[in-house]
Amino acid sequence: MLDPLRSLAELVRTLTRTRPDRRTESNARTTTSATRDSHLAQQPAGKVGKSEALRERLRQRLRIVGTQDRRLAREAFVETVLAAEFGEAVTLDPAMCDLVRKVSQQIAADAGTDRDLGVLLEELAQEPR
């Protein structure tokens, strides 16, 4: 059976691996740059561009909707990822709202994935522009 959350869980892991490392304030920027550069160097160039573009879209959306309402933040994440994968035109489909809601509910139903996504969304929302 195909697990519909598998690709979203993999995306969360990918974004988590490329997120800034928050070890110490004094060396966070150096460590973050080195860690991110090392990880990005291992990925194909097209994938790096897509990953960074998606991160930026997510940051923009989270600045608008915030992270206080976890449901709304999850739905913004799901909608942004689906639009990145299938094109912005998919957001015009009337069935999109229902799909986003259902996928968001499935993510919320898995405590581990919901927790990891919440941490990721908080970090993305706090990253500088």
In a domain, 113, yes or no: yes
Q: What integer best gives the mean pLDDT of the chain?
A: 77
pTM for the whole structure: 0.65
Q: Look at residue 36 in the predicted model and tell me its pLDDT.
A: 45
* 120, 19 contact by CB (below 8 A): yes
In a domain, 42, yes or no: yes
Report the domain count for the chain.
Answer: 1
Most confident of the ranges 4-8, 49-53, 66-70: 66-70
List pLDDT tens digits, range 12-44.
Answer: 666 666 555 544 443 444 444 444 444 444 545
In a domain, 52, yes or no: yes
Least confident of 11-20, 38-47, 48-57, 90-99: 38-47
Full domain range(s) for residue 67:
28-126
pLDDT > 70 fraction of the chain, expressed in percent and rounded? 63
Long-range contacts of 101-110 (CB under 8 A, 24+ apart): 101/75, 103/4, 103/5, 103/8, 103/78, 104/71, 104/74, 104/75, 104/77, 104/78, 106/4, 106/5, 107/5, 107/8, 107/74, 107/78, 108/70, 108/71, 108/74, 110/5
